[in-house]
């Protein structure tokens, strides 16, 4: 193996063992490893101590020009992982991770988009009609719409993660955090129907492809395609240009808020680690916001 390939294998072990990152994140980190070293040294591996901060900023600027996505923070994040590894393993004398510029992330000011409960139900029901994937797609969308799961959390569910006696399901969340959530009868019946009548193959993942050899999904893009087809089948207009399944999480939170749930309860269901992430839904409860707003001062009050 070439020195560059050996270093890449060491980096992969570091990401998996020391950092505990998911397979998808490791894959993208290794891609940026190759892209940056190729930009700096070509096909080989030069002196890593000759990497300068200007090399890093120049590489990121070229990424921005090619992607036209100035707010994308994944590239800088993957590069920080690389330079932290190089310093941790003694390959570089300086920790260049601090030289990686941050992507500008303005605070969102708009009200989260959402769908009405009746629209959500129509979308979920629309996917059931497919002969080969209807039961699978229906169960996957149910987990997002009813439990507020993120797409990668849906595709990461294993058969052994479901405790049928306790009525619970293990959720493999962000940053390797695991949570157990109650599984309603509606969701349980959908999963059982899929396992008995549609699922095939020896893979231990709950949701698998319908094509041989019936393996698990490499990423969660399948859910975006399922929702896109559901929009087309029902004629519902997406509330935003980008068709993503996160709209179902927003819709669940908005519906809970309308039915009297507190922000703390919504945060527990969505498994927010910070209460600040849940406060965006307070914008939907206009009456509650009016109760805490101060009255506009009049000329008489000023006197």
What separation in angstroms does the CA of 187 have from each of 137, 162, 164, 224, 240?
12, 11, 12, 20, 27
Decide if 255 contacts 112 (C-beta within 8 A): no
Averaged over 131-145, what is the pLDDT? 95
Task: For residue 67, count other CB atoms closer than 10 A to its CB.
Answer: 10
pLDDT digits (tens, 9 = 90+) for 215-244: 999 888 899 999 999 999 999 999 888 888
Banded model confidence at residue 285, pLDDT cuts 50, 70, 90: low
What's the CA gap between 34 and 42, in Å, rounded? 10
Averaged over 149-172, what is the pLDDT? 94
231 phi, psi to nearest 5 deg: -60, -45
Structure tokens at 228: 């896109």
Directed axis angle between helix 53-67 and helix 74-88, to 10°? 150
Q: What is the reported pLDDT for 110? A: 60
Decide if 149 contacts 141 (C-beta within 8 A): no
Decide if 187 contacts 144 (C-beta within 8 A): no
Q: What is the reported pLDDT for 32? A: 94
pLDDT digits (tens, 9 = 90+) for 66-122: 665 445 678 889 999 999 999 999 999 999 999 998 766 555 556 678 899 999 999
| Catalytic (active-site) positions | 150, 174, 246, 249, 272, 281
Q: What is the reported pLDDT for 273? A: 77
Domain ranges of the chain: 3-99, 117-288
pLDDT digits (tens, 9 = 90+) for 183-206: 999 999 999 999 999 999 999 999
Q: What is the CA radius of gyration of the chain?
A: 24
pTM over 0.85: no
Q: What is the reported pLDDT for 61? A: 86
Buried (b) or exposed (e) across 73-93, using 16+ Cβ within 10 A?
eebbbbbbbbbbbbbeeeebe
pLDDT of 293 higher than 70 = no
Q: Where are the alpha helices (DSSP H) in the chain?
A: 3-13, 23-41, 53-67, 74-88, 117-126, 134-147, 151-155, 185-197, 221-234, 246-258, 263-270, 286-292, 299-302
> 117-288 belongs to which homologous superfamily?
Intergrase catalytic core (1.10.443.10)
pLDDT of 175 higher than 90 = no
């Amino acid at each position: 193996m070439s020195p560059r390939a050996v270093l890449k294998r060491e980096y992969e072990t570091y990401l998996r063992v020391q950092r505990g990152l998911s397979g998808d994140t490791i894959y993208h980190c290794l891609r940026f490893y190759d892209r940056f070293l190729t930009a700096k040294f070509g096909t080989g591996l030069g002196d890593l101590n000759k990497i300068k901060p200007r090399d890093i900023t120049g590489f990121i600027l070229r990424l921005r020009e090619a992607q036209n996505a100035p707010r994308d923070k994944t590239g800088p994040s993957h590069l920080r992982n690389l330079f932290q590894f190089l310093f941790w393993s003694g390959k570089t004398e300086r920790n260049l991770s601090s030289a990686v510029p941050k992507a500008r992330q303005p605070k969102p000011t708009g009200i989260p988009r959402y769908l009405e409960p009746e629209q959500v139900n129509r979308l979920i029901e629309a996917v059931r009609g497919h002969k080969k994937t209807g039961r699978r797609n229906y169960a996957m969308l149910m987990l997002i719409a009813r439990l507020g799961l993120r797409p990668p959390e849906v595709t990461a569910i294993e058969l052994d993660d479901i405790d049928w006696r306790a009525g619970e399901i293990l959720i493999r969340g962000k940053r390797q955090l695991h949570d157990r959530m109650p599984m309603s009868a509606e969701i349980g019946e959908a999963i059982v129907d899929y396992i008995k009548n549609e699922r095939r193959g020896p893979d231990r993942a709950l949701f698998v492809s319908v094509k041989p050899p019936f393996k698990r999904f490499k990423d969660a893009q399948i859910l975006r395609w399922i929702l896109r087809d559901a929009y087309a089948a029902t004629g519902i207009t997406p509330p935003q240009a980008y068709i993503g399944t996160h709209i179902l999480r927003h819709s669940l939170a908005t519906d809970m808020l309308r039915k009297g749930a507190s922000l703390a309860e919504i945060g527990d269901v969505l498994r927010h680690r910070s209460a600040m992430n849940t406060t965006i839904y307070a914008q939907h409860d206009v009456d509650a916001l009016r109760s805490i707003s101060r009255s506009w001062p009049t000329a008489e009050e000023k006197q």
